[in-house]
Amino acid sequence: MYFAALLARTEEGWQASDTELDDVETLSDLTELAREASDDDTVIVFIEQEDAWFGIVRIEGEEDPRVYVSDGAAAARSSYGEILTREILGDDLDDIVDELESLDLDGTEDGEPLDGDSDEDDEETSVAAEAVPAAPVGDRLILADLGMSAVDLLALDSDALAAIADALGAAEVLEAVR
């Protein structure tokens, strides 16, 4: 289960809205969704998966998005987290996936059918996720100018999104959409 919210900084302060990620397949889709919420202002996208990991995407006008993920390996095992880790690791993750695709991961000889209900795609995703660090990845200074230092960001564990919103002065508006 995911929780996703957009925080847009406007002249009146932070405005929050929960968001559906059903149509998001790429970081470009997520960036477009955020830009629709606020044209030129700072937009922070929060994504959290059941306390397993959280991700932050920061969009400022037409600049490239900045991304941070609390646990790269856990995030890489989920659909939305994989989008974020792929953005952070870029070609490194593509190289890992290419190498995995060339391996015989199912233990059968070429052309031999798989026994049981193993899913080759799940196996590749699992092995690719294992190659991603089980540690924070991305831009650790993503919120530094908004009141949350890299040290504070790295120290977060449970209910991280509430702590981030509190540091940004947006706790009440985020809680309203939770």
Tens-digit pLDDT profile for residues 69-99? 999 999 988 889 999 998 888 755 555 555 5
Tens-digit pLDDT profile for residues 45-75? 999 998 899 999 999 988 899 999 999 999 9
User: pLDDT at position 64, please?
Assistant: 92
Q: Which of 24-38, 78-92, 113-127 has the highest mean pLDDT?
A: 24-38
Cut 0.75: pTM above it: yes
Confidence of residue 100 (pLDDT cuts 50, 70, 90): very low
Q: What percent of the chain has pLDDT over 70?
A: 76
Tens-digit pLDDT profile for residues 137-159? 999 999 999 999 999 999 997 78
Contact 7, 59 (CB under 8 A): no
Buried b (16+ CB within 10 A) or exposed e, 87-109: bbbeeebeebbeebeeeeeeeee
User: pLDDT at position 99, please?
Assistant: 52
Token pair recorded at residue 112: 């031999």
Indicate if the pLDDT at residue 135 is higher than 50.
yes
